[in-house]
């Protein structure tokens, strides 16, 4: 079972997060302050860490920095009410792998934790495969079985991102940040949906099994496992 | 107490120090003059004594007595000394009683005390004298009273007293005047600052039209106060705006939950209610996030990410992002780029600005219309132009659209929180660029970009328009939102 250590001082927030993660099959340990959290992180070697920035005893970023100095490479999701770009950058520079601003949706937190736990290996392969889909990363061509898919550059990047994280929920915020490199919430809220709709139209042809799924209120999923 | 403060004031102490230094300098100067004159007179007297003793020594001994008598009779000022003594030291002629013991008989002039036969002064005169032993053993003494130097020193002293005292007093008076003037100015500034601290934000420091450092400082502080007043007023306005605009989505969420709690009969209905409530809360959060970002940008805290940015790339990227959105709406979206343009700025913020303008253009252009994104450049400037075939922004709304939360009547039913153009204006201001809104027909917004100078030119202008944006007409009745105080 995957073990996650949550270092969060607010008991109510911690309770909701622990319940949601437990429902998803994770084993969660909770620590309400920085010093205790750092001790637990060192002693119990969890698979992932969720660390709040403002903690009693020791600041969350200091906890992460201390772990990184000990050469602990455990993936860390930073939680914070400080959402300015400079704060995010600082959080990532101090050793965080991802940054989630409070208040957040639980589904967003789970999706990001799963993404951290299943980070794609930085492989040097030139062809990417997921189910019937195949991407040639050199020629920038895409195929579904025998059928060639004509993709625009942005669609290619989007499909590549999804194939590297197949069978994993991808929230709109994650897609905006990673594929579109957006640092803000666009005024047009259905921006991702329109692009995804066009990609789905190209990937899931008539009579073919649907691969790209819209998870209502949460995001999108490239399902290749049957 | 006030006098004590005045005497203790820095300006007065400085004036006192300057006056003392001046007095010391004058005393030193007069002492030098006295010393030089004294030296000159003694040298002149020594020369005269040497000449006289040489002359009398060359005379035949029979004529010396008469010559000495004549020499002394012609001395109307009574400063001459002369004496002729035999080998035993007995006086033969002259007005000196005896040969002074300390006087060498080598003809060299030296300072000695001479006993005159008749002492005319009440003090021992300062005398320069020389003595020479003549052939036959006689001793000739010639001297001269150099008391003139005492007179000169007293004249110099009087001149010093007459000149120094008024000068010293004048220095002190100037220092006192300056001190009083500076204290008055500082006291006035103190009073006004106290009023500002007490909450009177309209108060300003006194600013004369003279070009002195104090006036310049007052000008800078007044500029700062202008900016603070504008920001505080804007903040007050924002507080009201937030209160109003957050209430709407929160009320929706509350009502949905309330109705759901009493009316939802099935799980599906409950889900629907929760979705509505979550949507309301999400919108509230979006407003808070946007406001925080706006504050961050307006407070110039986003300068860290500045660097060289390729504007043409940003335009292509925005076009690439919005092309499917426009196509969905049956709106043609085209991009025309003159040539590559590099500007100094924050890439993410500039992307957001162009994206916002294109987003609005696509949103408010009816189906079948067209949105055009252009980059027109010259050597020093460039225009990012977003034009569309929609209704455009009429004259009455040109300033209002830049205000936070402003929603035009024709926008009431479109999604958004009314902060897009506020963000655009703030980002444009941060970069020192200009935002120009043209009148209908059609929508046309331009960002005038400076490509010549590196770095933004921060705004220091006082403005009565929200968030320090100044408006004025440019060619064709366009509305200009400045990022700087200078005219174009």
pLDDT digits 0-9 by tens, A189-219: 688 899 999 999 999 988 889 999 998 878 9
State whether A10 and A105 are in the same domain. Answer: yes
Select from B290, B299, B324 the residue whose CB has the most chain A CBs within 10 Å, as the one to mutate to test that interface: B324
Select from B446, B292, B427 the least CA-distant residue to B347: B427
| Mean pLDDT score across all residues of chain B | 78
B171 vs B130, residue with greater confidence: B130
Q: Is the pTM here over 0.85, yes or no?
A: no
Check whether B161 has a pLDDT greater than 60: yes
Query: pLDDT, tens digit, for every residue of B398-413?
Result: 666 666 666 555 554 5
A186 vs A36, residue with greater confidence: A36
Residue A178: both structure tokens together:
């990673």
Last residue of a domain, one of A118, A148, A171: A118
Q: Count of alpha carbons within 13 Å of B198, Cβ hemisphere only?
A: 8
Select from B383, B390, B374 the least CA-distant residue to B335: B374
State whether A72 and A154 are in the same domain. Answer: no
Mean pLDDT of all residues in B97-126: 77
Residues of B in contact with A217 (CB under 8 A): 275, 278
Least confident of A178-192, B334-348, B450-464: B450-464
CB atoms under 10 Å from CB of B60, counted, come to 7
B259 vs B403, residue with greater confidence: B259
Residue linked to tokens 């002729």: B84
Residues of A in contact with B320 (CB under 8 A): 152-154
Exposure of A52 by Cβ count < 10 A (0-12 exposed, 13-18 middle, 19+ buried)? buried
Query: What CA–CA distance (Å, rounded) separates B287 from B281?
Result: 10
What are the angstrom distances between the C-alpha of B339 and each of B114, B333, B342, B431?
Answer: 107, 19, 10, 21
CB contact at 8 A, B146 and B110: no
Check whether A31 has a pLDDT greater than 80: yes
Check whether B2 has a pLDDT greater than 60: no
pLDDT of residue A163: 92
Per-residue confidence band for A75, with pLDDT thresholds at 50, 70 and 90? very high
CB contact at 8 A, B349 and B311: no
Q: What is the SS3 string spanning A150-170?
A: CCCHHHHHHHHHHHHCCCCCE
Shortest distance between the Cα of A194 and any Cα of chain B, in A, equals: 6
State whether A113 and A131 are in the same domain. Answer: no
B168 vs B308, residue with greater confidence: B308
Select from B279, B321, B351 the residue whose CB has the most chain A CBs within 10 Å, as the one to mutate to test that interface: B321
Residues of A in contact with B286 (CB under 8 A): 185
Per-residue confidence band for B90, with pLDDT thresholds at 50, 70 and 90? confident
Least confident of A41-50, A101-110, A190-199, B419-428: B419-428
Q: Do A195 and B324 touch (CB under 8 A)?
A: yes
For residue A56, give the CATH number of its domain.
Answer: 3.40.50.2300
Mean pLDDT of all residues in B38-55: 88
Check whether B177 has a pLDDT greater than 50: yes
Helix (H) or strand (E) holding A142: strand A141-144
Q: Do A86 and B292 touch (CB under 8 A)?
A: no
Query: pLDDT, tens digit, for every residue of B448-457?
Result: 887 765 544 4
State whether A37 and A142 are in the same domain. Answer: no
State whether A111 and A134 are in the same domain. Answer: no
CB atoms under 10 Å from CB of A71, counted, come to 6
Mean pLDDT of all residues in B78-93: 86
For residue A197, give the CATH number of its domain.
Answer: 1.10.10.10
Per-residue confidence band for B473, with pLDDT thresholds at 50, 70 and 90? very low
DSSP string, B19-53: HHHHHHHHHHHHHHHHHHHHHHHHHHHHHHHHHHH
Per-residue confidence band for B320, with pLDDT thresholds at 50, 70 and 90? confident
CB contact at 8 A, A95 and A73: no
CB contact set of A97 (below 8 Å; sequence gap of 6+): A75, A76, A77, A116, A119
Mean pLDDT of all residues in A10-30: 90
What are the angstrom distances between the C-alpha of A185 and each of A29, A195, B290, B405?
Answer: 33, 16, 9, 16
Last residue of a domain, one of A118, A137, A156: A118
State whether A99 and A81 are in the same domain. Answer: yes
pLDDT of residue B410: 52
Shortest distance between the Cα of B179 and any Cα of chain A, in A, equals: 49
In chain A, the percentage of residues whose pLDDT exceeds 70 is 96
pLDDT of residue B484: 39
CB contact at 8 A, A51 and A35: no
Q: Which residue of B has its CA nearest to A182?
A: B348
Check whether B477 has a pLDDT greater than 60: no
Query: pLDDT, tens digit, for every residue of B267-279?
Result: 888 888 888 888 8
pLDDT of residue B150: 67
State whether A91 and A7 are in the same domain. Answer: yes
Domains of chain B plus CATH, in order, are 1-202 (no CATH), 303-450 (3.30.565.10)
Check whether A39 has a pLDDT greater than 90: yes
pLDDT of residue B189: 87
Q: Do A83 and B415 touch (CB under 8 A)?
A: no
Per-residue confidence band for B370, with pLDDT thresholds at 50, 70 and 90? very high
Query: pLDDT, tens digit, for every residue of B290-302?
Result: 777 777 777 666 6
Check whether B74 has a pLDDT greater than 60: yes
Find residue B85's DSSP bridge partners: B91, B139
State whether A114 and A131 are in the same domain. Answer: no
Residues of B in contact with A186 (CB under 8 A): 355, 359
Per-residue confidence band for B427, with pLDDT thresholds at 50, 70 and 90? confident
CB contact set of A190 (below 8 Å; sequence gap of 6+): B325
State whether A131 and A68 are in the same domain. Answer: no
Query: pLDDT, tens digit, for every residue of A124-183?
Result: 678 889 999 999 988 899 999 889 999 988 899 999 999 988 888 999 888 988 888 777
State whether A23 and A106 are in the same domain. Answer: yes
State whether A101 and A60 are in the same domain. Answer: yes
Check whether B462 has a pLDDT greater than 70: no
Residues of A in contact with B355 (CB under 8 A): 186-187
State whether A67 and A167 are in the same domain. Answer: no
Domain count within chain A: 2
Last residue of a domain, one of A80, A96, A118: A118
Q: Which domain range does residue A186 map to?
A: 127-222
Query: pLDDT, tens digit, for every residue of B9-30?
Result: 676 777 778 878 888 888 888 7
pLDDT of residue A118: 80
Interfacial A residues in 114-153 facing B (CB < 8 Å): 152-153
In chain B, the percentage of residues whose pLDDT exceeds 70 is 81
């Amino acid at each position: 079972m995957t073990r996650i250590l949550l270092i969060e001082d607010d008991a109510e927030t911690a309770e909701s997060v622990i319940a949601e993660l437990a429902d998803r099959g994770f084993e969660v340990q909770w620590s309400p302050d920085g010093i205790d959290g750092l001790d637990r992180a060192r002693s119990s070697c969890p698979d992932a860490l969720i660390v709040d920035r403002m903690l009693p005893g020791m600041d969350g970023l200091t906890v992460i920095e201390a772990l990184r100095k000990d050469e602990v490479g455990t993936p860390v999701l930073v939680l914070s009410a400080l959402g300015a770009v400079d704060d995010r950058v600082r959080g990532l520079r101090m050793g965080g792998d991802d940054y989630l601003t409070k208040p957040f949706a639980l589904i967003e937190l789970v999706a990001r934790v799963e993404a951290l736990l299943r980070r794609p290996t930085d492989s040097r392969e030139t062809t990417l495969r997921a189910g019937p889909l195949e991407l040639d990363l050199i020629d920038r061509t895409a195929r579904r079985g025998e059928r060639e898919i004509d993709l625009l550059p942005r669609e290619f990047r989007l499909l590549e991102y999804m194939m590297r994280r197949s069978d994993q929920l991808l929230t709109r915020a994650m897609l905006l940040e990673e594929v579109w490199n957006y640092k803000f919430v666009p005024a047009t809220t259905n921006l991702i949906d329109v692009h995804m709709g066009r990609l789905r139209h190209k990937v899931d042809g008539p009579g073919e099994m649907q691969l790209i799924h819209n998870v209502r209120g949460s995001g999108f999923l490239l399902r290749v496992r049957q | 107490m006030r006098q004590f403060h005045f005497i203790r004031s820095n300006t007065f102490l400085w004036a006192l120090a300057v006056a003392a230094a001046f007095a010391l300098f004058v005393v030193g100067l007069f002492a030098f003059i006295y010393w030089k004159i004294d030296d000159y007179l003694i040298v002149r007297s020594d020369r005269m004594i040497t000449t006289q003793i040489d002359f009398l020594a060359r005379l035949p001994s029979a004529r010396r007595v008469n010559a000495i008598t004549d020499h002394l009779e012609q001395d109307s000022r009574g400063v001459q000394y002369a004496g002729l003594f035999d080998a035993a030291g007995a006086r033969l002629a002259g007005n000196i009683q005896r040969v002074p013991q300390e006087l060498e008989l080598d003809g060299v002039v030296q300072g000695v005390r001479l006993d005159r036969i008749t002492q005319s002064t009440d003090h021992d005169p300062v005398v320069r004298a020389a003595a020479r032993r003549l052939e036959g053993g006689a001793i000739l003494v010639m001297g001269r009273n150099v008391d003139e130097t005492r007179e000169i020193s007293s004249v110099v002293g009087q001149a010093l007293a007459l000149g120094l005292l008024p000068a010293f007093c004048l220095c002190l008076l100037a220092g006192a005047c300056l001190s009083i003037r500076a204290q008055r100015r500082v006291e006035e500034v103190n009073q006004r600052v106290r009023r500002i601290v007490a909450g009177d934000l309209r108060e300003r420091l006194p600013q004369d039209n003279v070009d002195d450092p104090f006036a310049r400082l007052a000008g800078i502080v007044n500029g700062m106060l202008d900016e603070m007043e504008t920001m505080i007023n804007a903040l007050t306005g924002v507080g009201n705006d937030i209160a109003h605009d957050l209430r709407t989505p929160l009320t929706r969420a509350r009502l949905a939950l309330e109705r759901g709690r009493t009316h939802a009969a099935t799980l599906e209905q409950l889900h629907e209610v929760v979705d509505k409530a979550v949507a309301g809360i999400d919108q509230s959060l979006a407003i808070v996030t946007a406001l925080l970002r706006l504050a961050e940008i307006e407070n110039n805290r986003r300068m860290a990410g500045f660097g060289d940015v390729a504007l043409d790339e940003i335009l292509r990227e925005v076009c690439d992002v919005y092309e499917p959105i426009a196509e969905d709406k049956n709106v043609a979206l085209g991009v025309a780029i003159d040539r590559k343009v590099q500007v100094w700025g924050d890439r993410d913020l500039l992307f957001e600005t162009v994206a916002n303008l294109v987003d609005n253009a696509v949103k408010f252009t009816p189906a079948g219309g067209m949105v055009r994104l252009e980059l027109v450049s010259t050597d020093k400037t460039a225009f990012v132009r977003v034009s569309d075939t929609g209704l455009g922004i009429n004259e009455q709304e040109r300033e209002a659209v830049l205000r936070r939360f402003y929603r035009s009547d024709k926008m009431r039913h479109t999604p958004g929180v009314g902060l897009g153009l506020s963000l655009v204006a703030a980002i444009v201001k941060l970069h020192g660029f200009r935002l120009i809104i043209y009148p209908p027909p059609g929508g046309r917004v331009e960002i005038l970009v400076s490509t010549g100078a590196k770095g933004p030119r921060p705004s220091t202008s006082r403005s009565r328009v929200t968030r320090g944006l100044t408006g004025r007409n440019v060619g064709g009745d366009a509305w200009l939102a400045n990022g700087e105080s200078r005219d174009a």
